[in-house]
Chain A
Amino acid sequence: MKSEETVIDVENLTKKFGDFTAVNEISFKTYKGEIFGFLGANGAGKTTAMKMLIGISKPSSGKASVTDFDVYSQPDRIKRNIGYMSQKFSMYDDLTIKENITFFGGIYGLDRKTIKTKIREVIKSLGLQDVANKLVGALPLGWKQKLAFSVALLHEPRIVFLDEPTGGVDPITRRQFWELIYKQASQGTTIFVTTHYMDEAEYCDRVSIMVEGKIEALDTPKNLKREYNTDSMDGVFLRLARNVE
């Protein structure tokens, strides 16, 4: 459940590449157990902003802390305390499910015993008993994504970043994936998620919409729809982004 405990605190965060300002003084907070949708058109600066928050890109100016660590001085500690899953790279196709879990558990410094427990938990909760020793490459995309999500949570981070986790996944599996997200959020994990499916934006507690490097809107889906006088998030998005081109 949503609480007042801040997990991300961003103030006037900016990133410039030469003359080009990719991220322009954005400010927001996310809280414990919140599902935070991070939307925007291609090239609006989403990816750049996300890179700064996960500690792999240094901001040009502004302040940001993630799980109480500073993005300038403590990027390594941030990396240890967050989970991350992207559509492009999630798992090694040529390793089995067990090997993948062991490998990623090892990266995050889990001891052998914990890894063994985690393997059992993940395999059980996703119902993968029959395929635990199969190569990940042989799994359908939807399963892979669900598994990748569980792997990103192995070290029990306070926040997990999901970069278009459901792209191309079939509608039923997409919903199963969101049920996993809900479940995790209800246990107190903050979810920071980007997506191109506008119906998924509705599943978020709060949504921010970036347009040309700035956060142009940030509120609950309900309030946004009311504010922009439309009945879907699609409408909100189009209205905001349309003004640009």
Chain B
Amino acid sequence: MSIILENITKSYKKVTAVKDISFEVKPGELFGLIGPDGAGKTTLFRILTTLLFTDRGEATVAGYDVVKEYKEIRKSVGYMPGKFSLYQDLTVEENLKFFATIFGTTIEENYDLIKDIYLQIEPFKKRRAGKLSGGMKQKLALSCALIHKPKVLFLDEPTTGVDPVSRKEFWDMLKRLNNKGITTLVSTPYMDEAALCDRIALIQAGRILKIDTPSNIIEEHEKQIYNVESKDMYKLIQDLKEYPENDSVFAFGEFVHYTHSNDEFAPEELKKYLEEKGHVKVFIEATSPGIEDIFMDLSRTKDIKAKDNEV
């Protein structure tokens, strides 16, 4: 196993950042931690990169214990923190050289690994990193994290705040790297990126909701989701929320995703109900869930469970 977490718990003062987290990442896997800000993703990354102690639980990276053998880990992992963390006043080339030197290597030695990525920013190698566009900064940061050919790569929200095009490019690069056998742990708040990982952990409020391959997660999800559409979205949401025995109503792209609380759901009845409410062009169809649907469903239902436990 490249990464093993066992019952990791960590609190800051009164706030529990992560609670009882366990999972494993296999060698060569592209593993995604999917969850919104504040879910505890960064805390996990910092524990695994030996920057934070845990309160409870154990973890190893590349076979080394994150507490006792932190020096070994620091030699063998690549880390790209969430915030852009390169020297803005150094040029592209100087940044890369610097990181190569502190890891005791040279750009030439591992050039084949970063070539794909670096070629895209090479035309700007004399430009200061602070003057690069968002997408190029990400590419430089990734090059720097890869320069010493790490055994495990940690990427904390590499695509946050990046536009969809650059995000797509970034994931293409990750896939290619992954094909070269580099184990990667990546986190993201964008649910649509989940499908690009080998396996994912959905994480919310410091707890893991689900771990599996994206396709398994989707297959195992039992609730039937319906696309509902009408001319007036806002009113549609309001009216659906008042429909008897509704389970969830979420805007989803051009549709509203609707789930019913029991099996006795008749689309025709809903259509009639909506039309009575004055909706025109009502359209209802069954659809398969995406990771985001499942995430919302799990975080909702687990919330309810947690609350039940408290009572």
A–B touching in complex (CB under 8 Å): yes
A90 on interface, CB distance cutoff 8 Å? no
Give chain B nearest CB distance to A49 CB in angstroms.
15
B225 on interface, CB distance cutoff 8 Å? no
Residues of chain B within 8 A of A170, CB atoms compared? 35-39, 204, 299
Give chain A nearest CB distance to B248 CB in angstroms.
9
Report yes or no: B234 in contact with A237, Cβ–Cβ below 8 A: no
Which residue of the partner chain, among B35, B168, B233, contacts A203 with CB atoms under 8 Å? B233
Over the window 21-51 of chain A, the binary record of Cβ atoms lying under 8 Å from chain B Cβ atoms (1 yes, 0 no) is 0000000000000000000111110000000
Give chain B nearest CB distance to A153 CB in angstroms.
16
Interface residues of B in 251-271 (CB under 8 A from A): 251-254
C-alpha gap A169/B191 in the complex (Å)? 11
With A170-B299, A199-B252 as contacts: A241 and B163 at CB distance below 8 Å: yes
B292 on interface, CB distance cutoff 8 Å? yes
Over the window 150-176 of chain A, the binary record of Cβ atoms lying under 8 Å from chain B Cβ atoms (1 yes, 0 no) is 000000000000001001111111010
Residues of chain B within 8 A of A234, CB atoms compared? 164, 192
C-alpha gap A196/B167 in the complex (Å)? 10
User: What is the interface residue range for chain B against chain A?
Assistant: 35 or more
Judged by DSSP, the binding face of A is helix
Beta-carbon nearest neighbor of A225 in chain B:
B254
B56 on interface, CB distance cutoff 8 Å? no
Beta-carbon nearest neighbor of A168 in chain B:
B37
C-alpha gap A203/B234 in the complex (Å)? 10
A219 on interface, CB distance cutoff 8 Å? no
B166 on interface, CB distance cutoff 8 Å? yes
B300 on interface, CB distance cutoff 8 Å? yes
Residues of chain A within 8 A of B163, CB atoms compared? 40-42, 44, 196, 241
- From A11-19, A106-114, A115-123, A179-187, give the one contacting chain B: A179-187
C-alpha gap A178/B135 in the complex (Å)? 27
Report yes or no: A42 in contact with B134, Cβ–Cβ below 8 A: yes
Over the window 191-214 of chain B, the binary record of Cβ atoms lying under 8 Å from chain A Cβ atoms (1 yes, 0 no) is 110000000000010000000000
A83 on interface, CB distance cutoff 8 Å? no
A57 on interface, CB distance cutoff 8 Å? no
Report yes or no: B253 in contact with A199, Cβ–Cβ below 8 A: yes
Which residue of the partner chain, among B38, B160, B254, B296, contacts A167 with CB atoms under 8 Å? B160
Beta-carbon nearest neighbor of A186 in chain B:
B234
A105 on interface, CB distance cutoff 8 Å? no
Residues of chain A within 8 A of B189, CB atoms compared? 167-168
Chain A count of residues within 8 A CB distance of the other chain? 39
Beta-carbon nearest neighbor of A184 in chain B:
B234
Report yes or no: B36 in contact with A196, Cβ–Cβ below 8 A: no
Residues of chain B within 8 A of A198, CB atoms compared? 164, 192
A197 on interface, CB distance cutoff 8 Å? yes
Residues of chain A within 8 A of B35, CB atoms compared? 170
Report yes or no: A169 in contact with B37, Cβ–Cβ below 8 A: yes
User: Which of B134, B191, B250 has most chain A Cβ within 10 Å?
Assistant: B250
Which residue of the partner chain, among B36, B134, B135, B166, contacts A168 with CB atoms under 8 Å? B36
Report yes or no: A171 in contact with B251, Cβ–Cβ below 8 A: no
Interface residues of A in 191-212 (CB under 8 A from B): 196-199, 202-203
Give chain A nearest CB distance to B15 CB in angstroms.
9
Which residue of the partner chain, among A142, A185, A197, A241, contacts B190 with CB atoms under 8 Å? A197
A127 on interface, CB distance cutoff 8 Å? no
Which residue of the partner chain, among B37, B166, B233, contacts A41 with CB atoms under 8 Å? B166
Report yes or no: A164 in contact with B251, Cβ–Cβ below 8 A: no
Report yes or no: A140 in contact with B234, Cβ–Cβ below 8 A: no
Report yes or no: A242 in contact with B165, Cβ–Cβ below 8 A: yes
A141 on interface, CB distance cutoff 8 Å? yes
C-alpha gap A198/B254 in the complex (Å)? 11
Give chain A nearest CB distance to B136 CB in angstroms.
9
Residues of chain B within 8 A of A43, CB atoms compared? 133-135
Interface residues of B in 28-52 (CB under 8 A from A): 35-39
Sorted nearest first, the 3 A-B pairs with minimum C-beta distance are A170-B36, A182-B234, A168-B37
Which B residues form the contact surface with A (CB < 8 A)? 35-39, 133-135, 160-168, 189-192, 204, 233-235, 237, 250-254, 292, 295-296, 299-300
Q: What are 24 of the A-B contact pairs (CB < 8 Å)?
A: A41-B166, A42-B133, A42-B134, A42-B161, A43-B133, A43-B134, A168-B36, A170-B36, A171-B36, A175-B250, A179-B237, A179-B251, A182-B237, A185-B234, A186-B234, A196-B162, A196-B167, A222-B254, A233-B253, A237-B165, A238-B168, A241-B164, A241-B165, A245-B165
14 more A-B residue pairs beyond the given contacts A41-B135, A172-B300, with a C-beta to C-beta distance below 8 A = A41-B164, A141-B37, A168-B37, A168-B160, A169-B37, A170-B204, A171-B296, A172-B296, A178-B251, A185-B234, A186-B235, A197-B190, A199-B253, A234-B164
